[in-house]
Structure 1
C-alpha cells in the first residue's frame, strides 16, 4: 500500500508546477491524515483534494480545480472516489476548453480505446505530439495546446496506456500507439514532420516508435528510462509508488513486473541507429531513473543534446528552465523560422542558468 508520506512527498515537489489562486495547496496537504480510502472519509487523500476542487469550482478557478482533481486521482484511481475524480477532471477540462480550438478524438487499439486532444490542426503545419509517463494524464499538458499553436505546430496530446482515458495495457509494443495516432491524423496534419515531447516513460515510447517510423524527426524527453531501468529493475531501489503504478498500467501483480520489463529495454544497437535529434533532460538525484542511463545515452547516442540538473525525477525544482528548454528544443529540431521566439527562449534560458548555476549542457 502506498504510504501517505510518499504521496505528500510527490505533491510537495509538484504543487510548484501550478500557480494556485483559489486555495493554498499546503493547507490541503496539512489537512490530509490518511491515504485514499474506499469509503468517503474526511482527512483522506482523495477526499481532501476533491473538497479543494469543489471550492475552486465555486470560485471559478477551473485550472486550480483540474489540478486538485489530478492530485485526487494520483497516481491512478483505485477507489471509487478517485475514479469519480478522474472522470470529473476530464469532464471539467472538456467543458472548459472544448469551446475553444480544442477537439477530442477517441481511437481504438487492440480492442481498447484511448483519447487525444488536438488544437490548430492544419495540413500544412508540422505535428507536435505530446505525452507524459505512467502517472500523467493528458490534461496536464494543456499548455502545449496553447503554446504549440504559437510555435507553428498542429498539436496532439495523449497519455500512456493504462493512464487516464487510455484503457490499453502498457507492454513492450505500446509504442505502436504513437504510429497509429499519426496514421489517424495523416490527412489533417503534416505527420511526415512530427516532433515528440515525451515525458519519462512517454519518452521511451517515442524513441521506440522513431526507430521504425521516419515521420518522426525529433524527440525531446525529461527522464526517460532507456536500458538499465528495464534490465536491472529488480536491483534498483524503485519507489513503491512507481512499482505499484507500473503493476497497474501493465495489468500485472507486483511480483511479475520485473521479468516482463526486461523486454522493454533499448539495446545499444537500437540507440546507435537513432540519428534524429534527441534532447534529454537528466536529473542527478532521480529516484527512478538510474545514473547508468546517462552513461548508456552518452556512449550510444548519435545526435544528443543533454541537459543535466541536480534534482529528482522530472527536475521539478528546475521547472523554469525546462519550460524554456522544451519549446526551444522543438523549434531547433524543426528548424523553425520563428527566430524571435527562439532568440527570446535562448536568452531567458541563459538568464535562468546564470541565476541558478544549476544546469549545464
Structure 2
C-alpha cells in the first residue's frame, strides 16, 4: 500500500498537467490508500463520477487518471483506469483523434493519432508521458500539434496503460515500430519526440539507433547517474522505486546498464531541449552535469523547483512546443506567437513565485511573533 503523504506530494505535478484546479481540496479529503470512502481511488473516482454525470467527459477522465495513479495495483485502480478509458472514448467522438495499434515483439502498443495523411505527409511528433502517466492525458493536445503542422502520435512507456511491450533493454525499438507503422501517412524521416521523464530516456536510447528521430524535448529525463549512483538511489521516493519495479520487474540495482553511454550520447547530432529542476528529488544533479557535458546541441531551461517543475507548468509547456518548432528550422508567425506566449508565461511564473515567497515570509514572521 502506498504512502498517502507521498502520493499527495508527487501527484501534484500530474494534477497540474491535467489542469485540475481543485487538486488541493480533493486530496484534503483523502485519508488512506485502501478502498471505499476516504481512499485515494475512492475520492478521485467519486469526483470523476460527478463530472461524468454532467457530461464533462474529459474532465471526468482526468480525475479517473488520478485515481489510477501511480499504477494499477488492485480492483479500485483497475476500475478507475477502465472508467478513464470509457470517458476518453466518449470525449473523442467527433474529435480528430484516432486509434492505432502497433505490434512489436508480439506485443500490442496502443496509440492515439492526429494529422496522419497519406496525401500530405507531415513531420511526425511522438508524444509520451513518463512512468506514471497515460496517453489519454496527452491525446487531447494532438490536434493542436496537427494545427502546428505536424502529424502526432501519443503512446506510453512499456508496461504503462496499453503498451504491453516488456520494459527492458530492447524496449526502445518499439518507437521505431511505431514510425514504421505510420510511414505511409507521415514524414517519419523527420520525427521528433516530446517525451517526459523516463520516456525521454527511452527516446534518447532509440535515437542512438534510429536516425529518423531528429530532435527530442523532455522534462526531467534520467540519463546516467540515476541508474548508477547507489547513494542517490537510497533517497529516491518510494513511489518511484515501486513503480519502476512494477514496470520492469527488476530492482534498481539491476538497472545500472540502462545508463546512457557517454560516447554514444556525445555522438548524437540532434537538438535536445531539456527542462531541469535544481531541487529534483528523482533526477540526481550528476545527470544535469552529464547533459551539459555530453549533449552537443542542447537547449536547457532550468528552474529552482522539484521534479517536473510543477510551479512552472505553463511556461514549460509553451517552451517545449516552441523548441519543437525551432528544431525543424521554423521561424514564422507560429514561433513568434509561441515566443510571446512563453515570455508572458515566464513573467507570470516569476510573479507567482515572488508572491509565494512573500506569503511564506509573512507566515514565518507571524509564527515567530
Query: What TM-score results when the alignment is normalised by the length of structure 2?
Result: 0.90
Q: Contact conserved, 1:144 with 1:155, CA < 8 A, in 2?
A: no
Residue 54 of structure 2: aligned partner: 59
Q: Give the 3 Å change call, closer, same or farther, for CA 19–268 of structure 1 in structure 2.
A: closer
Describe how 1:54-93 pairs up with structure 2 within 5 A. Answer: 54-93=49-88
Residues 69-90 of structure 1 deviation map (CA, whole Å, 9 limit, x = unaligned):
0111100010111111112211
Q: Give the 3 Å change call, closer, same or farther, for CA 161–18 of structure 1 in structure 2.
A: closer
* CA deviation after TM superposition for structure 1 residue 66, in Å: 1.0
Give the aligned CA root-mean-square deviation in angstroms. Answer: 1.7
Residue 210 of structure 1: aligned partner: 207
* CA deviation after TM superposition for structure 1 residue 20, in Å: 4.3
* CA deviation after TM superposition for structure 1 residue 138, in Å: 0.4
For the residues of structure 2 that align with 1:283 and 1:63, how far apart are their CA atoms? 29
SS of 1:350's equivalent?
Answer: helix
SS of 1:31's equivalent?
Answer: coil
For residue 122 of structure 1, the aligned residue among 103, 114, 117 is: 117
Describe how 1:1-361 pairs up with structure 2 within 5 A. Answer: 1-20=1-20, 24-35=22-33, 37=34, 40-123=35-118, 124-233=121-230, 235-236=232-233, 237-252=235-250, 257-336=251-330, 339-357=332-350
Q: Contact conserved, 1:320 with 1:352, CA < 8 A, in 2?
A: yes
* CA deviation after TM superposition for structure 1 residue 62, in Å: 1.6
Query: Structure 1: any 5+ residue segments left out of the alignment?
Result: none
Q: Contact conserved, 2:281 with 2:306, CA < 8 A, in 1?
A: yes
* CA deviation after TM superposition for structure 1 residue 3, in Å: 0.4
Residues 314-352 of structure 1 deviation map (CA, whole Å, 9 limit, x = unaligned):
111101111211110110001235x11201111222233
* CA deviation after TM superposition for structure 1 residue 355, in Å: 4.6
* CA deviation after TM superposition for structure 1 residue 16, in Å: 3.0
Q: Contact conserved, 1:47 with 1:72, CA < 8 A, in 2?
A: yes
* CA deviation after TM superposition for structure 1 residue 13, in Å: 4.0
For the residues of structure 2 that align with 1:352 and 1:27, how far apart are their CA atoms? 25
